[in-house]
Amino acid sequence: MNIKVLIISFSLLMMHCAPEKKDNNDGTLGALALLSQPQNVNLTFSLKAGTRDFEFNKAMTVGGNSLTFRDARFYVSSVKLLRADGTTADVTLTSDGVWQSTRVALLDYETGGVTVAGGGTTSGTSATNNRVVGSAPAGVYTGVQFDLGVPADLNHLDANNTTSPLNIINMWWAWSSGYKFVKLEFTKDADTNFTNFHLGSQNCPTSGATPPTSGTCTNQFRPTIRVTSTQAINPGSAVINVDLEKWLDGYTHPTGTKTCMPLSSGSFCNPLVTNIGLNGRVSTSGTALFTSTDAQAGTALTSFTNNVFKF
């Protein structure tokens, strides 16, 4: 009699438990499916001077100086999300035919049409872009990593015959030099003399109309930037502040219109270069302190004391 009761009880228990086990399995499979789905990435790069939003073609107080900007654009590439243990996950950019391809994005804060010294206007676009959009594996992330510039294998395309965002002639020097990774152009006290900060690879050998091959520029000048947080971030809505106060810290406005590039400028150019991690690249005489590619030229992660880029 007891054996019969036991058998009946066990049968009833199995009938009761089987559906619950199936439900649990379905829930587990559903959770795994969600984890395998790509995570949306929508990063906003907010250009600021301290806590104040950037204003184009209007006087802004930056570092105690009244500066007016006629250009503010830069490329980002090799975008990754950072985990707390230091590992990374690649972000696949969403090609939109305007601001992004699948590998590089253009951040654009100018609206064009600024009168320049000697007459004429700068060339730009009325549209602006401050976002990098894509997808990455689902996970918990505490930071973002990206290169400030165009990848070496794309740097020597012909801007006249390629697709967005690498078809912007204003962001292109020539085949031999490649693209301007960064353009910051500004003047002090409503003067007509501008400082033109143009960052890109230099010492790029070429032969006639043939562009350099990938990575042949002696000085890459493509810093890798890490922006980290002490807590988890939401890659779908994270905001990275780009602080002009930090970027121009120590800058002294020169007399006349000057172009600032790491290998061909005087001491006034130093802060604009060093504050984004290319330390020691410019001497007071304008002669490069280093001529070989090294960590300061963007081949390894660079540390920043000024935190130009921060959450």
Per-residue model confidence (pLDDT) at position 116: 54
Per-residue model confidence (pLDDT) at position 217: 81
pLDDT(269) > 90: no
Per-residue model confidence (pLDDT) at position 45: 98
Q: Per mean pLDDT, which range of 133-137, 205-209, 237-241 is the poorest?
A: 205-209
Per-residue model confidence (pLDDT) at position 198: 93
Per-residue model confidence (pLDDT) at position 281: 44
Cα torsion through 196, 202, 206, 208, rounded to 10: 20
Neighbours of 239 (CB within 10 A): 14
Span 252-263, pLDDT tens digits: 888 888 888 877
Contact 286, 264 (CB under 8 A): yes
Tell me the average pLDDT across 79-90. 95
Grade residue 76 by pLDDT with cuts at 50, 70 and 90: very high
Q: Per mean pLDDT, which range of 5-14, 54-63, 257-266, 271-280 is the poorest?
A: 5-14
Tell me the average pLDDT across 29-42. 69
Tell me the average pLDDT across 150-156. 92
Alpha-carbon distance 147 to 276, whole Å? 11
Span 87-109, pLDDT tens digits: 999 999 999 999 999 999 999 99
Per-residue model confidence (pLDDT) at position 257: 87
pLDDT(236) > 80: yes
Contact 124, 170 (CB under 8 A): yes
User: Average pLDDT of the chain?
Assistant: 80
Alpha-carbon distance 271 to 275, whole Å? 6
